[in-house]
Amino acid sequence: MATISVVIQFFEDFDFIERVVELLAWVDEIIVNDGPFLFTRELLEPLVGRDLVQPSARAADLFAHLSRRLGVPIHYHHRMFEDEREKRVHGYGLARGDVVLSVDADELLLLDREAVERFWGSEAVVASFDCVNFTYLNLVCGKAGSPLVARKPFAFKRSAIPAAHHLDYLWLVGVEQESVAQADFLPEALCAGAHLTTVRSSYGASIKFGFYNCLYYHLHGGEGLRGSFQEARDYFAKGRFSRTGQAEVYARAMADAIGFPDQQYFRLADSREVPEAVRTEAAMACAPHNSCLPRRCLSGSLVPGVPVYVLMEADKGLRIALSIDGQARLRIAPLVVNAEPIDLNKPAMELLWQARALESREWELEVAAPEASGPWIGNLIELVVWGDPAQRERWADASLAPSFSLATLASPETFRIDPQQAPT
C-alpha cells in the first residue's frame, strides 16, 4: 500500500480551505505550504494587516484545529519565497509519501485511496483529475475553444518525479517549463474535481487581484505596480482606511476579481460531461457567494480612476448616483451562456457623462442578448469616475472614499431622462 502526501499551496486562501482538507482527510499527511512571494510583500502587506515574514496565526490555528477534528496529520509551514518555482519546489520537498498530490486551496477533489492505489500499481508516474473551472452561479468559464472538462495533472510518484521536474506537468503562470512525455501519464483520470478559481469573498478577491497584478508587472519587468491597483494603493496610503474598506474596493476593481473575466465565455455545467457529485460539491461550496447574484442594487465605495465591476440583473434601465463630481464612464456587456466571450473593449453599450455629486441619473439600456444563445444571466457593468485631482486629494486626506449606488429599473415608465443631458 502506498503512502500518500497532499501538498496544498496556500496564502490567505480561507474561503474553501476547510472543505478542501475535509475531502482529503483520508491521506497519510497534509503539507500546507504557506507564504507570499517577495515581490508581493510591499503591496499585499497593508491588505493582510501583518508582517508577511511572520507566519499567519489564523492559518496555524485553523490547520491545528482541522488536524485534531479530522484525525489527519497536517504540517503547517510558512516562509517567504522568491517566486512560484521556489515555493512549489519547497512544498514538494516537504512531502514524505510515495505519492504526492499537489492541490490548490480552491480545488475540491472527489478522490479516494482506491484510485490512488490503482495509480501506484500502474507503470505511469503522473496522473490527472478531470477539472471543471467553476465561477459564480454554478457557471463554467474558459477561453474560446477550451473544453468543459480538462485534465489537470496533480499526482506524482515521488521516487520517479523529482521536486523541480514536477513543475513541468502543472498548470502554472510565469514559470519556465520543459516539455513532458505523454507516456508518463495514467491514461484515465484519477477522479473529478471542481476548481473554484474565480469565486472569492471580498477579502479573498482583493488578495488574488493584488497578487496577479504584482505577478504581471514582475514578469514583464515593470518597476513597482501600475494601473488600477496602484491608483487605489496610492489613494489609501494618504489616509487611514480600514482593511475591510480597502478589500471592498480591490475586490471589485477587475472583472476577474468578481468572477467574470474579460475574453472568457461561460457555459452551464452540462450533466452529460460534469458528474452530478462535482456540480453538487461546487454548488454547496459557492452558495454563500451566489446568494445575491446577479444584483438588483449595489452601493459601496470607489476610488477615483479605479473601476468598479459588478454583475447586475438584465433589466430595462439603470439608476446611478455618485458622491463625487467628475467625468464618468459606464460600460455594459451582457453575460450570456454559450455566447461569444465577453469583450469589455467592445461593450454592448457605453455611456459618458459629467457626474455631479449626489445627483442620480437614469439610463434606458439598449442592450440585447445575442441571437441563438443560452440564458441571459445579467449585465456585466464597468463604472469608472475620474475626479478633479484636488477633490480627490481632499477625500483621501480625510480618509474617505466616495460612495456610489447602482440600481436596475424594470419599467421604462420610471425613467426621467432629460434630453439635454443625454449621454454622448
In this prediction, residue 182 carries a pLDDT of 96
pLDDT at 2: 97
The yes or no reply on domain 292-424 and CATH 3.90.550 is: no
Domain 4-195, CATH 3.90.550.10 — does that match? yes
DSSP string, 321-352: EESS-EEEEEEEEEEETTSSPP-TTS-SEEEE
In tens digits, what is the pLDDT along the chain, a chain of 424 residues?
999 999 999 999 999 999 999 999 999 999 999 999 998 888 889 889 999 999 999 999 999 999 999 999 999 999 999 999 999 999 999 999 999 999 999 999 999 999 999 999 999 999 999 999 999 999 999 887 889 999 999 999 999 999 999 999 999 988 999 999 999 999 999 999 999 989 999 999 999 888 888 887 777 765 545 677 788 988 999 999 999 999 999 999 988 889 998 888 899 987 788 999 999 999 999 999 998 999 999 999 999 999 999 999 998 899 999 999 999 999 999 999 988 888 888 999 999 999 999 899 998 888 877 776 788 999 999 999 998 899 999 999 999 999 999 999 985 444 333 333 333 3
- CA-wise closest residue to 78 among 98, 59, 50: 59
Return the domain boundaries, the chain: 4-195, 292-424
Whether the Cβ atoms of residue 258 and residue 309 lie closer than 8 Å to each other? yes
User: Are the folds of 4-195 and 292-424 the same?
Assistant: no
